[in-house]
Chains A and B, each alone.
Chain A
Amino acid sequence: MHVFAQPFWVSKQGNEDSEYEDAFWPRKSVERRTTCFRCAVADGATETSYSGVWANQLVRYWCRNYSAVAFDPDGFRNLQQRWSAIVRRRPLPWYAEEKVRQGAFAAILGLVLYDDIDRESSGRHWQAVAVGDSCLVQMRGEEVLVRFPIADSAAFTNRPHLLSSNPAYTGQVVDHVRNMVGNWQADDAFYLMTDALACWFMRETEEGRTPWRVLRDLNTSDEVKPFREWVETLRTKGVMRNDDVTLLRVDVT
């Protein structure tokens, strides 16, 4: 298969880019022929510290080890220990120490696309895993084939289940890991989105509009506005929550 993946991101209004706490992988646009392609977006929780570090660890982990996120206990524990080592590199003031003790939290959405020529019927298939409210949409032309794990704009709340760097919370989240599989065809598109964008997308769809067109046209000659400017307009209109926003667009042929 031929994969073309492009990330788009913008930090929340009023914050510096260095304060962006979403994460995505691959980090840059990639275009390649392959039989297996892994990608992910993650969303570090604003209320926790070092959640950007944690979100980055999660997407890299997903993309480098397909043993997946929460259900490989050893690998996941190693990831948590690494986070703890990274954030404790220097002495911390009392409040930062307490925040580190609480742990960082993040949502993740991971996708793997396969083009397995040895499997006749379902050679072109995909698997996705999600914890929290980052979402996957699969498009075929003008049809929304899949919305995962949330399909309804009203279902976006401020308290999703998230993956924590604190081992005390690992057990609680295992029940909330969602999995999905599907097939793809040439010219399908996959959009991996963190919650503010995903919520906007679902609402637009529910109200009979065609939000995929603007995502499809980003960074092409049909683009209405560059991503950052476009997000800014939606925030100003009050139709998109002010949050870090990430889109990973994957076109496959």
Chain B
Amino acid sequence: MPYTAEISRANPSCFLFLIDQSGSMADPFGAGELGRKKADGVADAINRLLQNLVIKCAKEEGVRDYYHIGVIGYGAHVGPAFSGSLAGRELVPISEVGNMPARIEERTKKVDDGAGGLVDQSIRFPIWFDPVANGGTPMCQALGRAQAILQGWLAQHPDCFPPIVINITDGEATDGDPSGAADAIRKLRSNDGEVLLFNVHLSSQRATPIEFPDTEAVLPDQFAKLLFRMSSPLPAYMRSIAQQEGYKVSEGTRGFVFNADIVAVIRFLDIGTRPSDLR
């Protein structure tokens, strides 16, 4: 059965994030985020996700390398988008990610005080990825780069839980039709199944997000339908996670959200990166 390989230090998996860094990412989200720039919201979401993944893999002796992580930005340039000492690296073992954030900021978080109340607690918020918004949307190039990176990874890890690619964009590709490049990624496979490609479309308008659709019919335009077709169906274990989170799913459900606000982005990333069998 596919998507059942154990994720372990001996057999790690990988996540690759493709982040649109085009000029329009400096525009605000469409609704409810008080004029927050999309690039800032996405950077926060990615940093929080990386933080959560590191914590998930942390044990008393350090961070266990259950995953290798890559972040590719595409805008004025296409390439690795880590800041700080990881700059220029494509796929990085998660222990190195944990030990080498670009910087650590102090933030405040409300936590349960164990007696029915909330108290402010100062927490360290590591930053690996900074917001950028500049240039066009060379999505085809980014997908091509991802395909090359994963081909190399799969040659070294033929039995791994299939890599998961999450592409976050706010607009149409400016370098051609990305369908072919997306197909090429989805055709890559390990012995445990095909690479999963998920797409997150960010909204600049006041519109309700369409999350985890199972048909094109609910999508408003050709661009949304294109992204839907580029997205992998959710494997069974992920469908059940989505269902537990209250989404209506069927076998046709794809890893895609259209018109996402920041809440939808965070929810999507959480479901799309939750492990099936972490050991």
Contacts of B99 on A, CB cut-off 8 Å?
93
Are A99 and B55 closer than 8 Å at their CB atoms?
yes
Q: Is the CB of A96 within 8 A of B104?
A: no
Binary contact track A23-57/B, C-beta < 8 Å → 1, others 0: 00000000000000000000000110110010000
> Which of chain B's residues have a CB closer than 8 A to the CB of A171?
114
Could you tell me the distance between the alpha carbons of A83 and B6 in the complex, rounded to whole angstroms?
A: 30
Closest to A48 in B: B59
A12, B278: Cα distance in complex, Å:
12
In the bound complex, residues from chain B placing their C-beta under 8 Å from that of A50 are 60
| Measured CA separation A167–B117 after assembly (Å) | 13
Cβ A49 vs Cβ B59 within 8 A: yes
Residues of B within 8 A of A102 (CB): 55
Q: How far is the CA of A242 from the CA of B277 in the complex (A)?
A: 10
B69 to chain A, nearest CB (A): 14
Question: Considering the complex, which residues of chain B in the window 5-19 have a beta carbon less than 8 Å from any beta carbon of chain A?
Answer: 6, 8-10
Contacts of B58 in A (CB 8 A): 49, 95-96, 98-99
Query: What chain A residues lie within 8 Å of B221 (beta carbons)?
Result: none
B8, B62, B113, B114: most-surrounded residue (chain A CB, <10 A)? B114
Please measure, in the bound complex, the distance between the C-alpha atom of A102 and the C-alpha atom of B278, giving whole angstroms: 19
CB pair A242–B60 under 8 Å, yes or no, is no
Tell me if A14 counts as interface (CB < 8 A to partner B): yes
* Known contacts A96-B58, A98-B55; A46/B124 CB under 8 A: no
Q: Is B63 an interface residue (CB 8 A)?
A: yes
Q: Is the CB of A49 within 8 A of B124?
A: no
Size class of the contact patch on chain A? 20 to 34
* A223 CB–B CB distance under 8 Å: no
Q: Does A17 contact B (CB under 8 A)?
A: no
- A242-B104 CB under 8 A given contacts A94-B126, A98-B55: no
Query: CA A168 – CA B121 in complex, angstroms?
Result: 14
CB of B96 to closest CB in A, whole Å: 12
Interface string of B128-165 (1 = CB under 8 A from A): 00000000000000000000000000000000000000
Q: How far is the CB of A199 from chain B (nearest CB, A)?
A: 15
Tally the A-B contacts, defined by beta carbons under 8 Å. 54
Nearest CB on A from B234, distance (A): 18
Cβ contacts A168-179/B at 8 Å (1 or 0 each): 101100000000
- Interface centre among A95, A171, A242, by most chain B C-beta atoms within 10 angstroms, is A95
CB-based contact B278/A47 at 8 Å? yes
**Contact A94/B104 with A46-B278, A49-B60, A87-B60 known, Cβ cut-off 8 Å:** yes
Residues from 145 to 166 in A contacting B, C-beta threshold 8 Å? none
Contacts of B123 in A (CB 8 A): 98, 101
User: Could you say which residues of chain B place their CB within 8 Å of the CB of A187?
Assistant: none
Chain A residues positioned under 8 Å from B124 (CB to CB): 94, 97-98
In the complex, are the beta carbons of A242 and B278 less than 8 A apart?
Answer: no
Contact: B279 with A96, CB < 8 Å? no
| Cross-chain pairs A/B with CB under 8 angstroms, 30 sampled | A12-B279, A14-B8, A14-B10, A14-B279, A15-B279, A46-B279, A47-B56, A47-B278, A49-B58, A49-B59, A50-B60, A53-B60, A87-B60, A93-B62, A93-B98, A94-B104, A94-B126, A95-B51, A95-B54, A95-B58, A95-B63, A96-B60, A97-B124, A98-B51, A98-B123, A99-B58, A101-B123, A171-B114, A242-B6, A242-B279
For the A-B complex with A14-B10, A168-B112 known, give 15 more contacts whose Cβ atoms are closer than 8 Å.
Answer: A12-B279, A14-B279, A19-B61, A47-B278, A49-B58, A93-B62, A94-B101, A95-B55, A96-B60, A98-B58, A98-B124, A99-B55, A99-B59, A102-B55, A242-B6
- A residues near B (Cβ < 8 Å) are 12, 14-15, 19, 46-47, 49-50, 53, 87, 93-99, 101-102, 167-168, 170-171, 242
Q: Which 8 A-B pairs have the closest CB atoms?
A: A167-B114, A95-B58, A168-B112, A94-B124, A168-B114, A14-B8, A95-B54, A49-B60
